[in-house]
Amino acid sequence: MNRTEKAELTAQFGGNAAKTPFVVVTEFRGTKVSEINTVRRELEKNGMSFKVIKNTLAKRAFAEVGFTGLDGHLKGMTGVVFSGPDAIASARVLKDLLKPYPTIQVRAGYFDGSVMPGDAVKLVAELPGKPELYARLLATMLEGPRQLLRVLNGPGRELVQVLKNHEDKLSAAAAE
């Protein structure tokens, strides 16, 4: 591979990193090529990608796009996973996908401008996704008007209850 090819590969890799909200660095030592290809295809089905690149080129690419702190995790047999547009959903897919492949280990992740260890990447998968967050936000927004309506309806409801009790007393006294 000559310098121009390396520069093109680095630019392409950096472009992928800059476009994605979540990057995961993995180690795949001891994993069969067929297993890597299976993982790669499953990730592609979910809008993600798995790339294997020389560590020095990955360091250059990450430095070019401002991803600092991943250098220490780029050693040995490294594969990089680029998430889809929804980082949380991508983390869930990755977590579920890697369960049957114990030889693929998550080393680190880069999420929201910071580097996180492999264990924290698994915690990202447990965060609620966008649809669930939208539902929670909507429920929170609707709860205020609901409570106001209850407070406004309360005195009227109580007055009706008092009148109903008085009517019941009158009808019970008339029946005796």
Q: Using alpha carbons only, give the angle 35, 97, 124 rounded to the nearest 5 degrees.
A: 140
Whether 102 shows a pLDDT value over 80: the answer reads yes
Helix (H, G, I), strand (E, B) or coil at 49: strand
32 is written with which tokens?
């069969």
pLDDT tens string 55-81: 888 888 888 888 888 888 888 888 999
Confidence (pTM): 0.70
Q: Residue 150 pLDDT > 90, yes or no?
A: no
pLDDT tens, position by position, 107-140:
998 987 889 888 888 888 887 877 888 898 999 8
Q: Across all residues in the chain, what is the average pLDDT?
A: 87
Q: How far apart are CA 27 and CA 77, in angstroms?
A: 6
Beta-carbon count within 10 A of 174 CB: 7
- Those residues whose C-beta lies under 8 Å from the C-beta of residue 85, and which sit 6 or more positions away, are 21, 47
Domain ranges of the chain: 3-127, 128-176
CATH entry, 3-127, from 1.10.3720.10, 3.40.50.300, 3.30.530.20, 3.30.70.1730: 3.30.70.1730
Q: Report d(CA 31, CA 75) in Å as an integer.
A: 16
